Structure 1
Amino acid sequence: MTPSGSASLSDDDDAPAAVSFWQAFAFWLKLGFISFGGPAGQIAIMHQELVERRRWISERRFLHALNYCMVLPGPEAQQLATYIGWLMHRSWGGIVAGGLFVLPSLFILIALSWIYIAFGEMPLVAGLFYGIKPAVTAIVVQATHRIGARALRNPVMWAVAAASFVAIFAADLPFPLIVLAAAVTGFVGGRIAPERFKAGGGHGKAGASWGRALIDDDTPTPPHALFTWGRLLRVGLAGGLLWLIPMGLLIAFYGMENTLTRMAWFFTKAALLTFGGAYAVLPYVYQGAVESYGWLTPHQMIDGLALGETTPGPLIMVVSFVGFVGGYVKAVFGPDSLFLGGAAAAMVVTWFTFLPSFIFILAGGPLIETTHNDLKFTAPLTAITAAVVGVILNLALFFGYHVLWPKGFAGSFDGVSAAIALAAAVALFRFKVNVIHVIAACAVLGLVLKTVL
């Protein structure tokens, strides 16, 4: 049967049992609450759970889907969850997987944003953040290692990753340009030296050490994942209506100059600019939300980023904080309904930020599925994955700098944060402790140290 059916797709006795829609639902719900660590950490969690432990999808198919998500604007980890959910259980599987990746974070951020804006500074939260930030740094470093070990299988891939790191760290080149250069490198290299640009680097079957997968390298693409122009048209039409109807209602009820309408339009544009993850688009969000519209202050924007870093879900969920604070401060539903106004704004912002991601996956997934054995399509994506390793390493250094030197190199070195980060790294690398346990332990440790110190 197909991945959306109820029987195993593999003829091997070693293949895992089939996964029902509700079994998958339970996993995606759990993932929504444990997806800490930014995109690198979230992708690492999915690889560990779906490829290594549960064997729902093979290494090669997982990386092929990841390559596509890396090219798209938007949160790649959430898109990867949507892609795998769609591949296993059709459109509703993708909608559930992607939706549950976001919803827990949305509700948590609405609650935390309300506490933040209504009650001001919170020493308890500050202490928890003090311990979580070094842990997140260690998680990103570990994820860089894990993804690099899978993607950098030969000297050419190492060279692509190194060039990517230099381009973004030293030359400060924009991420879309790095992706384009990697894609061109893969396209040309796939013709000149095809063995160097195969998924897995040409070193045998990717993921073979974990046994047969439910969706394995040689599993035929299920009928619902095959490309047809009719299916593409239906997805495009549905996606267009899901954007147009709420936008039309906002304009009809509130007008173009209303805060909610402006947020819907602004974050639609932001969603299409998020190449390279949340940090690539944060300057754009800062400029619009703080400087142009005055939805929040610079200090509040920084605090919102801290909340986004330390709650589950994609880091771009910081836009929900921006929406809540903007809706609350602007009193979009009047001074007697401040919380309701903030919550409504957060939901509007989240809807218009993530809708394009679902459309990209449901519309483009069938085309990508038909190319997973075609080198002229896979070689550019393989090179992009290698380039992204360099970009993630740059992100790890970015975290490390801001955690260990919170006031810049001119300020003092934070030895306590360094010790927490080192302890988290040892737990992750040496003892293979679960990510959520590391975060919880570091949060408690940070609270205790902040109270004592």
Structure 2
Amino acid sequence: MTALSANENVAPATIAHPTQWEAFLVFAKIGLLSFGGPAGQIALMHKVLVEEKRWISEERFLHALNYCMLLPGPEAQQLATYIGWLLHGVRGGVVAGTLFIIPGFLIILGLSSIYALYQGTASIDAIFFGLKAAVLAVVIEAVIRVGKRALKNGFMIGLAAASFIAIYAFQVPFPLIILGAGLMGYFGARLRPDLFKGSGHGGAAISGPFLELREPEVQPGWGRAAKVLLVWGLLWIAPVLLLAVVFGRETIFMPIAAFFSQMAVVTFGGAYAVLSYVAQAAVSSFGWLRPGEMLDGLAMAETTPGPLILVLVYVGFLAAFRSPPGIDPLLSGVIGATLTTWVTFIPCFLWIFLGAPYIETLRANKALSGALTAITASVVGVILNLAIWFGLHVVFRTVGTVSAGPLSFAWPDLRSLDLAAALLAVAAAIAIFRLKLGLIPTLGAAAAGGLMLRYLLG
């Protein structure tokens, strides 16, 4: 069947339901081309699934997206899982969600191996020197993009500011900030719904015809919910138990499983919102990474397809590579990366398969929509904290901590300014904001600039 564009006036009366193989090929294509963060990934899915294939209507697509926005985890991957579930049930959801992850996982796994084995060589260090400067501009762009969507009134601006102060100056844990914002939105929407209206997802509606989706052959209920929780809960914990039996409970794999399982249930607002928390824990609490290495991983994730949260693959790889339980470090790293991916994404499937039958109730619930709106505003402040944290570590060679009573925040040694890094960061910002160069060209130019500067300056 010939794909239809959004502007065509002549269309067949009905759209044939795709076979599982057709859906496999389409979601494989989406997984391979899903660059540009969640905004670009969602736009790609909309173009392919709504405008071209017409497997799902505009209304159903946005309905599914709004539900995924309520969940912890990467909304784009969960949206792919949800649409796959609508098309072919649980099997379709598993296939679609997995294909969204696999390409990026394999690429980051390969890059992490190269990084671990050859870190310290002049060319590798120079490339990541340039990439880190560009990533700073990318994170700043994310603050602005999310801020424009979320901060629609003074109350939301104040909530974002309070979240920033809480995490930057008082070190309030990220999960508590999200919980507090969600509760404020949930109850605030009942009292002042005008303050907690979501920004929605604009754009002109696409006219039909569309595939007439079959109604899912499931009904919400406690029995089904218990079954879904049991099956996916066992899948979640099974590899952890296996590794505990094979290698023991005192190995690096147990804290990896525990920490990233926790991340899987609190990552509201996307990867940028949680990365500063992960970076601080991985560097300061666990000692898995050295200062600045989180930026290298983020640079990898920005240049590969799939959800940005796949940067955690790199963290899990390095953690296990540097503390192998009596096996080859490279094998240990692969196990650590795979375990991290498993405990991060298995919950994403759980949320979809558990909650999808209830989406009509969630769609009509203004209190839940208010909670999402407040969380999104709060996330702006958290991402701003990430931008400042990254910026200080990119532009300054030495960053310390200032403490005074309950206050504790990062502060650089101004004499340690890295002029080359600052110039690259400014150049990357100009490329993104003024020249509209795009993510991949900007990162490529920054990597080349890092090589050039390192060799020129010795």
TM range (shorter): 0.7 to 0.9
Structure 2 match to 1:180: 179
- Separation in 2 of the partners of 1:331 and 1:76? 33
The one-letter amino acid paired with 1:25 is F
Structure 1 match to 2:451: 447
Deviation of 1:452 after TM superposition, in Å, equals: 1.8
Change (3 A) 1:239 1:145: same
- Separation in 1 of the partners of 2:102 and 2:445? 24
- Separation in 2 of the partners of 1:209 and 1:438? 30
Structure 1 match to 2:138: 139
Q: 1:390 aligns with which of 371, 381, 388?
A: 381
Structure 2 match to 1:281: 278
Change (3 A) 1:269 1:144: closer
Change (3 A) 1:178 1:356: same
Residues 289 and 322, structure 1, Cα contact 8 Å, conserved in 2: no
Larger deviation, residues 358-367 vs 252-261: 252-261
> Structure 1: 5+ residue runs without aligned partners?
1-5, 36-41, 291-295
Cα root mean square deviation, aligned: 4.1
Structure 1 vs Structure 2: percent identity of aligned residues? 38
- The one-character-per-residue Cα deviations of 1:42-96 (angstroms, maximum 9, x if unpaired) are 2232344345896675696476245413xx3x55665555456556664345434
- Separation in 2 of the partners of 1:47 and 1:139? 18
Aligned length: 421
Change (3 A) 1:7 1:192: farther
Structure 1 match to 2:296: 306
Deviation of 1:330 after TM superposition, in Å, equals: 5.1
Change (3 A) 1:131 1:375: same
- Separation in 2 of the partners of 1:128 and 1:452? 14
Change (3 A) 1:326 1:446: closer
- Separation in 2 of the partners of 1:279 and 1:77? 21
1:437 aligns with 2:441: yes
- Separation in 2 of the partners of 1:406 and 1:130? 12
- Separation in 2 of the partners of 1:396 and 1:221? 44
Structure 1 match to 2:153: 154
- SS in structure 1 opposite 2:422? helix
- SS in structure 1 opposite 2:414? coil
The one-letter amino acid paired with 2:232 is G
Structure 2 match to 1:38: none
- Separation in 2 of the partners of 1:262 and 1:193? 43
Residues 309 and 315, structure 1, Cα contact 8 Å, conserved in 2: no
> Structure 2: 5+ residue runs without aligned partners?
399-411
The one-letter amino acid paired with 1:145 is I
Residues 44 and 147, structure 1, Cα contact 8 Å, conserved in 2: no
Change (3 A) 1:271 1:374: closer
Normalising by the residue count of structure 2, what TM-score does the alignment of the two structures yield?
Answer: 0.75
- The one-character-per-residue Cα deviations of 1:21-53 (angstroms, maximum 9, x if unpaired) are 246413432245x35xxxxxx223234434589
Give the alignment of 1:34-73 within 5 angstroms: 34-35=35-36, 42-50=37-45, 61=63, 64-65=66-67, 67-69=69-71, 72=72
Structure 2 match to 1:411: 415
Residues 300 and 311, structure 2, Cα contact 8 Å, conserved in 1: no
1:25 aligns with 2:20: no
Change (3 A) 1:288 1:188: closer
Change (3 A) 1:374 1:23: farther
The one-letter amino acid paired with 2:137 is A
Deviation of 1:402 after TM superposition, in Å, equals: 1.9
- SS in structure 2 opposite 1:199? coil
The one-letter amino acid paired with 1:30 is L
- Separation in 2 of the partners of 1:23 and 1:164? 42
